[in-house]
Amino acid sequence: MSAALAAWAVASAGLAPHAIADDAPLKQWYLDAMHAEDLWKVSTGVGIKVAVVDTGVNADTPSLKGQVLSQEVPAAAAYGATKDYDGHGTTMAEMIAGTGRGGGIKGLAPGAKVIPLRITLSTLKDPAELKLTKLPAEAIRAAADSGAKIINMSFAAHTKDPGLEDAVKYAVSKGKLMFAGTGNDGEEDNGLLEFPAALPGVVGVAAADAKGAVGKFSHSGDSVDLAAPGLNVSRWCNAEFQAYCTADGTSAASAIASASAALIWSAHPTWTADQVLRTMIDTAGRSWDKNTPSKYLGYGLIRPRLVLEKADINPGPADVDPLAQENGGSSAPPATPAAPSSSPPAKGDAAAKGEDTGGGKDGGSTPWVVGGVLAGLVVIGGGAFAVLRTRRRGV
């Protein structure tokens, strides 16, 4: 096993345990914030398969029974794809497609199905298990050859394993839409690129809180394309599956972005990956110019409701990458959907990074929900040139 593999880590930060009990409700504030009940009246993700490339997926949790397609990739069973050695992959699967049965996490796209693919991350120590798992590149290729339309990769590292970039290119050629957490070392090694999020063809997702502010830990820079809920959420504490913990991380943000894409693709099954992503970008909550994405939250907070509520929304060209400019190419002008609710003035970098700005009318962050209408407007402006990122470099 290569030394580089040890650097691959799940993109979840700190944990605080709480048992599954009536007096310890799951932290799923994002379902209310994103108006999940309204979303599900239009789409639950039926017909969409999401590959979860992670620590494995336990298909026997109450929330995942009947949701995991363990035989979709025949070889996956041979390397234990339904044996989760950490609890992380199962959490991501539940956040995407969990039914919520048995007091478990309910996914944002409960009508979708999950294809499990297990890779070696830093939490795997058992030598026997290490021999059974796959390199990320191998798993991505397997996902690309499967029936999954979306590939979720809630892991990150500063280095690329051999074949990773080629595997991503292969998945793009197969029409897959890929999401990855941007990483959780924003306060330490923020100057370093995180893979696979930094690769062209992968949508890097930053983590935001209930007020729409990015977490201090959330990696910023060129690889951030969108932002999604990722703070104060629940995850399985470990592979024992006895309790959920409260956690922060871009892992959750990636999973929720994947689920959002599943909702949209299910409602518009003839669209391509480019069209699904374009509508997510166009409807994202932001208070800055779309042509100058933020290094903290990219094009803004995902708001699938604004796509689903407009049945005749124009998704733009089917074969033009909406992130082509980011990835060193050129792109046609994107379609412009109906304008969301008006944005308040942007505030400052402190709020954007989740810091205390002193409260009051102008302190803190704009919440996801304003007056019953999902807004998701991010307070990140202030000195605008200080927060705008450079274009993604070729990697």
pLDDT digits (tens, 9 = 90+) for 143-171: 999 999 999 999 988 888 779 999 999 99
Q: What is the rounded average pLDDT of the residues 357-378? A: 28
Find out whether 48 and 265 touch, Cβ atoms under 8 Å. Answer: yes
Are 93 and 254 in contact by the 8 Å Cβ rule? The answer is: no
Pairing state between β 243-247 and 9-10 = unpaired
Across the strands, what pairs with 274?
A: none
For residue 64, pLDDT beyond 70: yes
pTM: 0.83
Number of domain units in the chain: 1
Is residue 316 in some structural domain?
no
pLDDT at 247: 94
Amino acid 328: pLDDT? 65
State residue 200's pLDDT score: 96
pLDDT of the residue at 238: 92
Q: Is the pLDDT of residue 63 over 70?
A: yes
Q: Which residue range(s) make up the domain with 110?
A: 3-308
β partners of residue 118: 54
Q: What is the pLDDT of residues 78-118, one digit of tens each?
A: 678 999 989 999 999 999 999 999 999 999 999 999 999 99
For residue 245, tell me if it sits in a domain.
Answer: yes
Backbone angles phi, psi at 276, to 5 degrees: -60, -50
Structure tokens at 1: 């096993």
Residue 67's CB is within 10 A of a number of other CB atoms, namely 22
Residue 158 falls in the annotated catalytic set: no
**Percent of the chain whose predicted confidence (pLDDT) is above 90:** 62
Tens of pLDDT, residue by residue over 269-298, are 999 999 999 999 999 999 999 989 999 999
CATH number at residue 48: 3.40.50.200
Catalytic residue among 251, 258, 260, 287: 251
What pLDDT is attached to residue 174?
98
Helix (H) or strand (E) holding 26: none
- CA neighbours closer than 13 Å in the CB half-sphere of residue 107: 36
Please identify which of the residues 12, 35, 43, 54 carries the catalytic annotation. Answer: 54
Residue 330 has pLDDT above 60, yes or no: no
Between β-strands 243-247 and 15-19, what pairing exists: parallel, antiparallel or unpaired?
antiparallel
pLDDT at residue 7 greater than cutoff 50: yes
Does the residue 284 lie in any domain?
yes
40 pLDDT more than 70: yes
The rounded Cα 323 to chain-centroid distance in angstroms is 16
Give the 3-state secondary structure of residue 170.
helix
Note the pLDDT of residue 186: 87
pLDDT at 8: 54
306 pLDDT higher than 70: yes
381, 351 in Cβ contact below 8 A? no
Q: Is 374:305 a contact under the CB 8 Å cutoff?
A: yes
Q: β-strand 226-229 against 233-236: which pairing, if any? A: unpaired
Written as one string, the DSSP assignment of 278-325 is: HHHHHT-B-SS-TTS-BTTTBT-B--HHHHHT-TT-----TT--TTTT
Give the pLDDT band (50/70/90) at residue 125.
confident
Mean pLDDT computed over every residue of the chain: 80
The confidence band for 361, taking pLDDT boundaries of 50, 70 and 90, is very low
- Three-state SS for 127? helix
Candidates 88, 146, 258, 260; catalytic one: 88
Per-residue pLDDT, 388: 36
Is 54 annotated as catalytic? yes
Rounded Cα gap, residues 316 and 40, in angstroms: 24
* pLDDT at res. 10: 62
What does the pLDDT read at residue 189?
67
Tell me which amino acid residue 349 is: D
Residue 142 lies in a domain: yes
Q: What tens digit of pLDDT does each residue of 165-174 get?
A: 999 999 999 9
Does a structural domain hold residue 327?
no
* Structure token digits, residue 127: 């030598």
Is 251 among the catalytic positions?
A: yes
Judge contact between 224 and 257, C-beta under 8 A: no
Query: How is residue 315 written in tokens?
Result: 């998704």
CA distance 38 to 360: 31
Bond from prior residue into 293 cis (ω within 30 degrees of 0): no
| Phi, psi of 384, rounded to the nearest 5 degrees | -55, -40
Q: Is the pLDDT of residue 27 over 80?
A: yes
Asked, for residue 226, whether it belongs to a domain, the answer is: yes
> What is the arithmetic mean of pLDDT over 243-263?
97
State the helix-helix crossing angle for 164-173 and 136-144, rounded to 10 degrees.
10
The residues that bridge with 340 in the sheet, in sequence order, are: none
Percent of the chain with pLDDT over 70: 75
How far from the centroid of its chain's Cα atoms is residue 29's Cα?
A: 16
What's the pLDDT score for residue 89? Answer: 97
In a domain, 384, yes or no: no
First vs last C-alpha separation in the chain: 24
In the prediction, which pLDDT does 327 show?
73
In a domain, 276, yes or no: yes
Predicted pLDDT at 317: 98
